Amino acid sequence: MDDERRTRRRSGPARISSKNQVTLPAAVLRKLGMGPGDPVDISDEGDHIVIRRHRSRFSGLAGSLPGFSADVDVETSRDEWTG
């Protein structure tokens, strides 16, 4: 079964739980290369709730400065610098 068909399989609206949680369709997350523990940003835009993959403001620096690579957690490094 392909991802498009799996996405269409679920019908009806998602529900907000008593803990304010919503389950996102697994097929959509797989398509976007996301999974449990991945950080997301949530905002409201008019009457829409928007969920976006979180992008660190430092993500463009990886590989552009000596000592920074994709293996460096720049958010943790920033916290250590400001200590």
- HSE at residue 74, side-chain half, CA atoms within 13 A, is 16
Q: What CATH code is carried by the domain that includes residue 12?
A: 2.10.260
- Kindly report, residue by residue over 6-30, the tens digit of the pLDDT: 545 556 788 999 999 999 998 999 9
Domain count, the chain: 1
Per-residue pLDDT at 44 exceeds 70: yes
- Kindly report, residue by residue over 49-76, the tens digit of the pLDDT: 999 998 877 666 656 666 656 566 667 7
Rounded to two decimals, the pTM is 0.52
pLDDT score at 48: 95
Strand (E) or helix (H) holding 28: helix 26-32
Give, as one character, the DSSP assignment of residue 72: S
pLDDT score at 20: 95
Whether residue 69 is contained in a domain is answered as no
pLDDT score at 67: 62
- HSE at residue 3, side-chain half, CA atoms within 13 A, is 9
Please, are residues 74 and 82 in contact by the beta-carbon 8 Å criterion? no
Please, are residues 22 and 16 in contact by the beta-carbon 8 Å criterion? yes
Which domain, by its residues, includes 12?
A: 1-38
Confidence of residue 5 (pLDDT cuts 50, 70, 90): low
